[in-house]
Each structure stands twice: as structure tokens, then as C-alpha cells.
Amino acid sequence: MKSTLKPLLILSTLIFFSSEAAVAASYATYGLGVGNKLAHGAANTITGIAEVPKSMLMETNDKGLGYGLTTGLLTGITYGVGRSLAGVADLGTFFIPAKPLVSPGYAWQDYRTQQTRFQPNWK
């Protein structure tokens, strides 16, 4: 019985590690890599507050000062909390391949032209 168990154990070990190697090789091409996801998570956790002036500026430019100071403030607070929570999620799961949760990747990217968007599903 011991002689039939050893080849089975070797075969199952090879199958397990070959699938792990395939996943590790494709991780860099799927979504963010480990280092990038960790950097995005740290930056987004800390700079979520930058969404407040960004949203206020964009709403003021689009619809006027009154709208920017009221709706822009509330939108910025909401987006800031969302960006910070997405950063915490990226920090906690940086070793799992996933698409980014927030677009643009950092709060300061496309600061005047692109409003923050959150992905509908976490893939």
C-alpha cells in the first residue's frame, strides 16, 4: 500500500504546484500587481480626503459656486470615504489578484477633468 501511495502523493503535489505557478505568472497581467495594489491601497487610504476639494472644484466649474459649495462638498465627502475604504480593501487583499475598485487610481490623477468612479463589481 505504501508503494502506491507515494506516486499518488507526488502526482497530486505536481498538479497543485503547477496550477499555483500558472496563477502566479498571470498575476502581473491581471489587474494590479502585488506592489501596485499595495501602493494604491496605501495612497487611497491616506488621500481619500482629497476627494472633497476635487469634487467641490469640479461642481463649481460645471454648475456654479453655490452648487459646488453644497453638493460638491457632500459628494466629496462621500467619494472620500469610498476611496479610503477601497484603499483599506486593497491593503487587506493586496496578495489577491483583482481589478482596481476606484478610477482614476489616485485622487490626484485627472484632478480637474475626471470625476471618481467606483467599479460596480469587484472582479
Q: In this structure, what DSSP letter does residue 50 have?
A: G
Identify the residue whose cell numbers are 502523493. Answer: 9
The pLDDT value given to residue 13: 67
pLDDT the model gives residue 98: 81
**Which of 5 and 52 is assigned the larger pLDDT?**
52
- What does the CA dihedral 103, 108, 113, 31 come to, rounded to 10 degrees? -20
Please state, for a pLDDT cut of 90, what percent of the chain lies above it: 42
What mean pLDDT comes out for the span 65-91? 94
pLDDT, mean of residues 4-18: 64
Residue 54 scores a pLDDT above 80: yes
**Average pLDDT, stretch 48-76?**
93
Write out the three cell numbers for 115.
Answer: 470625476
Q: Report pLDDT for 27.
A: 54
d(CA 94, CA 50): 22
> How confident is residue 36, by pLDDT bands cut at 50, 70 and 90?
confident
DSSP state of 102: E
Q: What is the largest CA-CA distance in the chain?
A: 81
Select, from the ranges 10-14, 15-19, 60-64, 106-110, the one with the highest average predicted confidence (pLDDT): 60-64
Q: Stretch 47-69: mean pLDDT, rounded? A: 92
Could you give the angle at the alpha carbon of 113 between the alpha carbons of 92 and 90, nearest 5°? Answer: 5
The chain-wide mean pLDDT, for the chain, equals: 81
